[in-house]
């Protein structure tokens, strides 16, 4: 008997691997597909003012075009000294979407004269589930920490090399995938969403 299919609405290979790993760790017995595993469709631009709005828009798109229950997330870095920015602009903070090294350098340049006590930040993730019947659920996870003065580590992706979570001595990029999953914003959001996802899929709702 084949497993129920669920679409994870991303083309980012790092994020897809992370989503699959976290959901597998919850015991969710599902066939998790990425956007490259389904017929291509026109994806709406991420124009929402909040992480939740963007996550919902992506999940609605996926469910509408594929007929599959769809999970999407929008996440980013909120830096206190930058008034919560880059926020929803995290992936394109330096101007080009997905240019992680440029985004990271820009954040460091913007904080170059900011003392350690004012370098508080948080990773924030909104994870949304939309089913073909129109049921919707959104949850949020946070990981609080600080921005350090320079990159450390070669794991993770995005801003991981310059972020040290509260209670940690190593940057996110120095943690193993399992260590990061246990404390990450995305891990928290997906673990909260997983029971809803499995219940909805089981009910066909």
Instruction: Provide the pLDDT for residue 1.
Output: 60
What number is the average pLDDT over the span 114-143?
95
The residue to which tokens 């609080």 are assigned: 144
Residue numbers of the domain that contains 44: 5-203
- The CATH number of the domain holding residue 150 is 3.90.950.10
Pairing of strands 120-130, 31-34: unpaired
| C-alpha span between 151 and 163 (Å, rounded) | 8
Would you please indicate which residues are annotated as catalytic (active-site) residues? 74
The residue to which tokens 């209670």 are assigned: 167
pLDDT tens-digit map of 168-181: 999 999 999 999 99
> Of 58, 62, 59, whose CA–CA distance to 46 is shortest?
58
**Predicted TM-score (pTM) of this structure:** 0.90
Q: Chain-centre distance of CA 56, in angstroms?
A: 13
What number is the average pLDDT over the span 78-99?
93
Number of domains in the chain: 1
Binned at pLDDT 50, 70 and 90, residue 98 comes out as confident
Instruction: Provide the pLDDT for residue 162.
Output: 97
Instruction: Provide the pLDDT for residue 205.
Output: 62
Is the per-residue pLDDT at 114 higher than 80?
A: yes
| C-alpha span between 73 and 59 (Å, rounded) | 8
Per the document, the length of the chain is: 205
CB neighbours (10 Å) of residue 33? 19
Pairing of strands 31-34, 163-165: unpaired
Burial of 68 (0-12, 13-18, 19+ CB in 10 A): buried
pLDDT tens-digit map of 11-30: 888 888 888 888 888 877 88
| C-alpha span between 85 and 74 (Å, rounded) | 14
Under a CB-based contact definition with an 8 Å cutoff, are residues 175 and 196 in contact? Answer: no
pLDDT tens-digit map of 64-85: 999 999 999 999 999 999 999 9
> Of 69, 40, 64, 68, whose CA–CA distance to 127 is shortest?
69
Instruction: Provide the pLDDT for residue 24.
Output: 83
């Amino acid at each position: 008997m084949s497993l129920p299919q669920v679409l994870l609405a991303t083309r980012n290979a790092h994020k897809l691997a992370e989503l699959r790993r976290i959901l597998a760790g919850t015991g969710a017995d599902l066939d998790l597909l990425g956007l490259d595993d389904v017929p291509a469709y026109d994806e709406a631009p991420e124009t929402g003012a909040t992480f939740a709005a963007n996550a919902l828009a992506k999940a609605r798109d996926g469910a509408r075009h594929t007929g599959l229950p769809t999970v999407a997330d929008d996440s980013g870095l909120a830096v206190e000294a930058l008034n919560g920015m880059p926020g929803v602009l995290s992936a394109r903070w330096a101007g080009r979407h997905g240019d992680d090294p440029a985004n990271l350098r820009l954040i460091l340049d913007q904080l170059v004269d900011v003392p350690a006590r004012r370098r508080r930040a948080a990773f924030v993730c909104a994870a949304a589930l939309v089913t073909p019947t129109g049921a919707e659920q959104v949850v949020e996870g946070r990981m609080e920490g600080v921005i350090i003065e320079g990159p450390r580590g070669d794991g993770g992706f995005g801003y991981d090399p310059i972020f040290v979570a509260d209670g940690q001595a190593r940057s996110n990029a120095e943690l193993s995938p399992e260590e990061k999953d246990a404390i990450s914003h995305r891990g928290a959001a997906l673990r909260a969403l997983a029971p809803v996802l499995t219940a909805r899929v089981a009910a066909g709702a």
